[in-house]
Amino acid sequence: MVLLCIVLAASLILGATANWGKEQKTYVDYKFQAVLDNPVVTTTVNPPILTVDGYRPASGIQDCNVTINNKTYFYPDDFSYQETFHVEANQITGKSIMLVTTTLAFNLPGHPTITEYLTLQSTRTGPNTSTDDSQFFLTGTRTFRNVEGGGFAESYGISGTDYALHIGLIKGWPF
């Protein structure tokens, strides 16, 4: 009887590890939230276009977490954070486009990553108002090589602090 229990337990463990890291076909929830400040920027002006390029240093990450498949991971304990961005704004038409690349390198063997590619198109509709259309898609490396997905993004700034919320679905999450 004891031998049978050991064989069954070993079979369950081997079966679970055989599927670890393989592509999962179902979609699971994905939510990224961050409070950010102090970007490092370079600004160039070629009228009427204003161009801003920059990145976010570690000192600019006030709070950041990502929830995947109902489990929340926290910066810096569970992952590192890198962000670069490029903005082009037409000062005459009020239209702008922003491209942001954010990479989360998880504190796991091999430091697998999730990279988000976000686009934001904005149109100024008044002195203090604008409309925007933003979305993101994501990919992964190493353990997360089969991860893909996307969704919508919302961001806004208040007094020099940026608030970001990305909500979507991903598939291929190995956990």
Q: What is the structure's pLDDT at 13?
A: 34
Quote the pLDDT of residue 133: 76
- 64 found inside a domain: yes
Q: Is residue 47 part of a domain?
A: yes
Q: How do beta strands 95-106 and 61-68 pair?
A: unpaired
CA dihedral for 41, 42, 45, 48, sign (positive or negative) = negative
**Is 8 inside a domain boundary?**
no
Please report the pLDDT score of residue 15 as a whole number. 38
pLDDT tens string 137-174:
999 999 999 999 999 998 888 888 999 999 999 999 99
Average pLDDT over residues 71-95: 96
Residues 124-140: tens digit of each pLDDT: 776 665 666 789 999 99
In a domain, 84, yes or no: yes
Percent of residues, the chain, with pLDDT higher than 70? 82
**How many domains, in total, are found in the chain?**
1
By residue range, what is the domain housing residue 78?
A: 25-171
Kindly state the percentage of the chain with pLDDT values over 90: 71
* pLDDT score at 131: 62
**pTM of this prediction exceeds 0.85:** no
- Residue 3 pLDDT level (bands cut at 50, 70, 90): very low
What does the H/E/C string look like for the chain? CHHHHHHHHHHHHHHHHHHCCCCCCCEEEEEEEEEECCCEEEEEEECCEEEEEEEECHHHEEEEEEEECCEEEECCCCEEEEEEEEEEEECCCCEEEEEEEEEEEECCCCCCEEEEEEEEEEEECCCCCEEEEEEEEEEECHHHCCCEEEEEEEEEEECCEEEEEEEEEEECCCC
What mean pLDDT is predicted for residues 11-18? 36
Asked if residue 54 belongs to a domain, the reply is yes
Provide the pLDDT for residue 17.
40
The CATH number assigned to the domain holding 122 equals 2.40.160
Mind spelling out the 3-state secondary structure of 66-116? EEECCEEEECCCCEEEEEEEEEEEECCCCEEEEEEEEEEEECCCCCCEEEE
More confident residue, 134 or 32: 32
Residue 14 lies in a domain: no
